[in-house]
Amino acid sequence: MTARRLALLAALWLPVLGLAAARAGEPREQVDFFEGKIRPALVTHCYSCHSAGAKKVRGGLRLDTRDLARKGGDTGPAVVPGDPAKSLLLQALRYGDLKMPPDRKLPDAVVKDFETWIKSGAADPRESVAAAPPPAPLDAEAGKRFWAFQPPQSHPAPAVRDGANALRKIDAFLLARLEQAGVEPAPPADRRTLLRRVTFDLTGLPPTPAEAEAFVNDPAPDAYEKCVERLLARPAYGERWARFWLDVARYAEDQAHIVGDDKSLTYPNAYLYRDWVIKALNDDVPYDRFVTLQLAADLVESPASPNLPALGFVGLGPKYYDRGRLAVMAEEWEDRVDVVGRGLLGLTVACARCHDHKYDPIKTEDYYGLAGVFASTKLYNRPLAGAKGTEDAKQPKDAMHVVREGTPTDLAVFLRGDVNSKGAVVPRHFVSVLSDTSAKPFRQGSGRRELAAAVTDRHNPLTARVIVNRVWAAYFGRGLVATPANFGALGERPTHPELLDDLAVRFMDGGWSLKSLHREIVLSAAYRRSSSTEYSVRSTQTDPQNLLLAHMPRRRLGVEAWRDAVLAASGRLSRAVGGQSLDPLDPKEARRTVYSRVSRLELNRLLALFDFPDPNVTADRRVETTTPLQKMFVLNSPFMVAQAEALAGRLAAEVPGDDGRRIDAAYRLLYGRAPGDAETRLGREFLSRGADRKARWPQYAHVLLAANEMMFVD
Amino acid sequence: MTESLTRREMLRRSGLGFGLLGLAGAMQSNGLLAAEAGAARAPHFTPKAKRVIFLFMNGGPSHVDTFDPKPGLKQREGQKPSGEPDRKAKAGFVPSPFAFRAHGKSGVVMSELFPNLARRADDLCVLRSMHTDVPNHEPGLVLMHSGTQQPTRPSMGSWVSYGLGSENENLPGYVVLAPRRPVVGPHLWSSSFLPGAHQGMAVTTTDMRVEKLVANLNHPTLDRAKQREQLDLLGSLNRLHLENRARDAALESQIRAMETAFRMQTTAAEAFDVGREPAGAREMYGTSLFGQACLLARRLSERGVRFVQVYYLAPGDNQPWDTHADNDNRHRKLCADSDRATAALLTDLKQRGLLDETLVVWGGEFGRTPYAQPATKGAHGRDHHHTGFSMVLAGGGVKGGMMYGATDEVGMHAVENRVHVHDLHATILHLLGIDHERLTYRFSGRDYRLTDVHGRVVRDVIA
């Protein structure tokens, strides 16, 4: 007999067992009434969602035993014997605020039967034969045992045999694991490759041919260290890394819905936030302060502070259609909680909006404790000049996003996320599992300042780990934790836990300096290794995903670095830092791609084509896709045709002599190296074919710009 | 760690939610498969439909003037409905001026506004008991497209493209045809957190010349032979680059995409060119923007585009079916155009033997009130209405000649066999061979699906 049939039989027998178990004191005729009228209706109309046999029990309510029906679900007791008015089951059947069954109201006669039954004491012979065990309590203290909620510890560098290869402390951790696995790391990359790699990584731009020659020929033992310092000091460093942060901050300049021509919810001066991020990174503002300013600059700075645009992290978030309605504001608060949760803490706090988190020790109360902070915060636009007005800007083009204290408001938990079902009021507070003691209520205004302090607290186990991991992922193609925005139970476990922790602790000890973190990574032997897999057959066999980092991964440039590199090659790249947003598709537009207008309504076609993340939500990482439509852009777009012509013109103007010399110059300009013999031969052949010799150069230049080498970094 | 272990790791995750199909996408996004969106993927079970064409009547057509006859409105003309806000229902019920009649062998009923579609009655499945959550365009549109009212989730077309891949790797899997931007706009075809390759390719259909329809379709100056020469050189250089790099799969996939792009220039130029249709076909669909877009939809669908969305918009109006005033005359005009094109599409698909495997959906974000909305000047209109309205399905494995569900006697509320938007989504996915509860994508710590925690397949309408 199959399990299924057994279950079926059991179900058939249950009523009989139930009857047998009828309790003394329940009048026979009332039990009969239940069996004749009530139980069949429950089985037919309710059990599919409200019984042990339901695929998924809805609303926390089960109606298949007496006790569970009386206990009720998320909204309260379903059956209160003798009191129809308090019995939510009856209210739902009557189609009041609650409406059950959801697809159609039951006939009046049946509803009347339920009323009669409850009035007469709700006789119910069903014992709790199938009661499921209650879910494990989500106790913050118990939950703290999970690795991510333990404070990170520093670790001594493990002993390794190949000490000469351990240039930095992180190398020791990586080498220990490689040696353990018996995998030989790849040798260092050659100087040209390394320079192209580190220049793209630190500035998002290729090195110039002159820089390449100087570096390759620099005899100084610290040539590389000096080069890294020079790159870190360039404004291009901030432009490069701002974009990583803007992905996290779901930076955009408008809304996904715009009703008619109503521009009141758009952010024409959002670029001020972007410029602030660039400058803050260039100034190496410590990360804890960097975050604090973005959450609460209005509370920690003077009214005239140049740091107020930092509030764009909160103030440039999505605003939804018909805002002001509670249900809509609840959606907006979720956005703010999510950008703090996944963006800063690597924790899916927003999952706890409708129910306690299913996997992590985060309660609904934690969610509403944070949502209350944003419910107590006002966001609006204000004219840039005359900083006094508090109303929405009349002229949106003059407006800047303002974040200001509202009326401090503690929210009631919305049961199952439904704004019409309010539970207990929760004081505003930080996520309990991340708090040192049980989370203290926030008392100052909205609580944003206390929130910022809690996020950046030295004892918060996640903030430093999360940012260190994000930066690591940008270099190595994968984080030490492969899910950068989810360090919870459903996220990945760290591949090198001690390394992650040690890096996080040193990051905090060193004053939260991002530049120091970059330095630590790019000066490591691991970062300097060749990306070739040919050195270690064993590595590709035993570690095909390269989790041990025996070699550097080959990486594809993101759309920003790729477009910038094309502009750098054509000679058109403008180095103007900051300013209003631009259209990166415009062939005449020469500023860097980081300055692109980012729209939630209609993302720029170029950005959308090349895997730019959806700016409606904080991005955990970029997904890479390879599509023919991308290549049609590369082959045919006015932008690329214009750059090819500019490149050809530039070579003609700057390089006297024959095709061979120009081919050589082109390779150095685009790829940072000299062409091989075969490459030169192919180029010469192409250029010498065809009637119109003069037209060949732009065509050839276009091929070089379209090549894989332009888009990948070894 | 070995390759098989890696796959096992993936399968472990699949147990946590990646559906069978989603797995392909998941492996792609993890770089385990070459990230090419083109490849077709296996459905959950044998599909009835391979493709979808969704004809969207922006603004919301009036069900009581089209597919849901309500003689009861005549008796109760001028009466105010109960439970509606007074300010909204000032003018009371108003009957439809249009005659309704049963058509075909099956007797599917529709108003006189659909003389052409009437001849296809036995192919139609009219859902008379649709309902949605709100009577406002923006959230209604977003819900109908993505299963939620907030613009934060992937559209149905993106889900289908993600779940099933493309049937023709030389064309995109999801194409959106519209003469201008509809209300809400591009979010309606957004892939949101799904990989970008699954977002709808938006095509503006005001100018049907093929080079105007598809961006970057051709090089501005080079002819095909010259570009082939370029591509040959590019191929040689890319292969030299590849040889020194241990045949890196990511590089190979770039090389393949480049060749596909070159082919797509020809395939797309052909596929998007309605000028290649005989004059008779163009005439049959009508020369209106919508008619020509329906013809283009058939060409794309026929060539394997998985999901084609056609928006009914007018050059000066991004929701023409929103008839707050002059409802009757405007429906007369709109239906004449929509009827002709829709009927032509069904006839054309049937003649080509494609109707059985192509699901055609007709409808808007909601219906219109059975009571009148007084207009400041001119004839009355009808307001937004979400608790009962009609949609029409045809082909793709649905029962033809069927009327399913019912609204009450005045067309206010769906009362019998109610079909929510989530149920419609579940049913469309089911027809495509997809279990709506298993097509999931792990994002931000949980598994998302088109129907969220809702949706019920309406099995009664499946052939």
Q: Given CB atoms, is B379 within the 8 Å cutoff of chain A?
A: no
- B415–A104 CB contact, under 8 Å: yes
Residue B16, pLDDT score? 32
Contact at CB, A544 and B226, closer than 8 angstroms: no
Answer whether B17's CB lies under 8 Å from B137's CB: no
pLDDT score recorded for residue A643: 97
Compute the count of residue pairs across chains A and B with CB atoms less than 8 Å apart: 209
Give the B window 184-203 contacts with A, CB below 8 Å. 184-187, 190-193, 195-197, 199, 201
Tokens of residue A199, six digits? 């220049």
The region of weakest confidence among A144-153, A442-451, A624-633, B274-283 is A624-633
Average pLDDT over residues A178-207: 96
- Note whether B274 and B295 are within 8 A (CB): yes
Q: Which amino acid is at A236?
A: A
Instruction: Give B28→chain A minimum CA distance, Å.
Output: 8
Higher-confidence residue of B186 and A318: namely A318
| In contact, A683 and A659? CB cutoff 8 Å | yes
Residue B463 CA to residue B397 CA, distance in Å, equals 5
- How many percent of chain A have pLDDT more than 70? 91
Chain CA centroid to CA A474, Å = 14
Helix (H) / strand (E) element for B56: namely: strand B51-57
As a whole number of angstroms, the distance between CA A647 and CA B117 comes to 58
What's the mean pLDDT when you consider all of chain A? 88
| pLDDT over 90 (residue A383) | no
**Higher local confidence (pLDDT), B83 or A437:** B83
Q: Look at the block and give the residue holding tokens 């809400």.
A: B184
Q: Report how far residue A484's alpha carbon sits from residue A473's, in angstroms, rounded to the nearest whole number.
A: 8
Three-state SS sequence of A188-234? ECCHHHHHHHHHHHHHCCCCCHHHHHHHHCCCCCCHHHHHHHHHHHC
DSSP string, A290-314: HHHHHHHHHHHS-TT-TTGGGGHHH
Task: List Cα–Cα distances, B115 to B240, B259, B310, B332, in angstroms.
Answer: 63, 47, 21, 12
Q: Do A544 and B217 touch (CB under 8 A)?
A: no
Entry pTM? 0.76
- For residues A113 and A32, what is the distance between their CA atoms, to the nearest angstrom? 13
Q: Given B150, B231, B248, which is nearest A331 (Cβ)?
A: B150
Residues of B in contact with A641 (CB under 8 A): 219-221
Successive 10-residue mean pLDDT values, chain B, 463 residues:
35 33 37 42 87 98 98 94 77 96 98 98 98 92 93 91 86 91 86 83 90 89 93 96 85 88 91 94 94 97 96 90 96 98 98 97 98 88 96 97 97 97 98 94 82 95 96
| Confidence check: pLDDT of A588 > 50 | yes
B212: amino acid identity, one letter: K
pLDDT of res. A299? 97
Using CA atoms, how far residue A642 sits from A346, A648, A652, in Å, is 42, 10, 15
Which of the two residues, A85 and B272, has the higher pLDDT score? B272
Query: Which pLDDT band holds residue A138 (cuts at 50, 70, 90)?
Result: low
The answer to whether residue A470 scores a pLDDT higher than 90 is yes
- Residue B303's CB is within 10 A of a number of other CB atoms, namely 17
pLDDT of residue B260: 86
| Per-residue tokens: B294 | 């329906």
Q: Do B222 and A699 touch (CB under 8 A)?
A: yes
Encoding tokens for residue A114?
Answer: 């339920």
Q: Provide the residue type at B95 as one letter.
A: P
Mean pLDDT of A263-284: 93
The partner residue sitting opposite A632, judged by closest CB among B169, B233, B265, is: B265
Put simply, the answer to whether B222 touches A623 (Cβ < 8 Å) is: no
Q: A286 preceded by cis ω (within 30°)? A: no
Q: Which residues of A touch B219 (CB under 8 A)?
A: 635-636, 641
Identify the CA nearest to A682 among candidates A660, A665, A714, A702.
A660
> Is B257 within 8 Å of A351 when comparing Cβ atoms?
no
C-alpha–C-alpha distance, residues B181 and A599, integer Å: 15
> Is the Cβ–Cβ distance between B158 and B52 less than 8 Å?
no
Chain A hits for B453, Cβ within 8 Å: 56
The identity of residue A164, as a single letter, is A
Backbone angles phi, psi at A621, to 5 degrees: -170, 170
- Where does the pLDDT of residue A132 fall: very low under 50, low under 70, confident under 90, or very high at 90 and above? very low
A529, pLDDT greater than 80? yes
Q: B404: which chain A residues are within 8 Å (Cβ-Cβ)?
A: none
Give yes or no for B34 touching A (CB within 8 A): yes
Chain B CB contacts of A342 below 8 Å: 444-445
Chain A residues near residue B169 by CB distance under 8 angstroms:
628
Please give the torsion angle defined by the CA atoms of residues B98, B103, B106 and B108, in that order, rounded to the nearest 10 degrees: -20
Mean pLDDT of A185-210: 97
Q: Give the closest residue to B247 by CA, choosing from A185, A559, A554.
A: A554
Q: What is the pLDDT of residue A47?
A: 82
DSSP A272-287: HHHHHHHHHHHTT--H
Count of alpha carbons within 13 angstroms of residue B275, beta-carbon side: 9
- Please name the residue that has the structure tokens 């239906």: B335
Q: Which amino acid is at A702?
A: H
Q: How far is B360 from chain A (nearest CA, A)?
A: 26
Taking contacts as CB-CB distances below 8 angstroms, the residues of chain B near A678 are: 240
Q: Is B33 near chain A, with CB under 8 Å?
A: no
Q: Which residues of A touch B258 (CB under 8 A)?
A: 631, 634-635, 706
Residue A382's pLDDT band (cuts 50, 70, 90): confident
DSSP secondary structure letters along A499-521: HHHHHHHHHHHTTS-HHHHHHHH
* Amino acid occupying residue B384: H
Verify whether the Cβ–Cβ distance B190 to A554 is below 8 Å: no
Q: Provide CB contacts within 8 A for B135, sequence distance 6+.
A: B366, B383, B384, B385, B386
Q: Which two tokens stand for residue B445?
A: 């710590």
CA distances A195 to A214, A389, A591, Å, are: 11, 51, 23
Measured between beta carbons, the chain B residues lying within 8 angstroms of A633 are 215-216
Residue B241 contacts A where some CB pair is shorter than 8 Å: yes
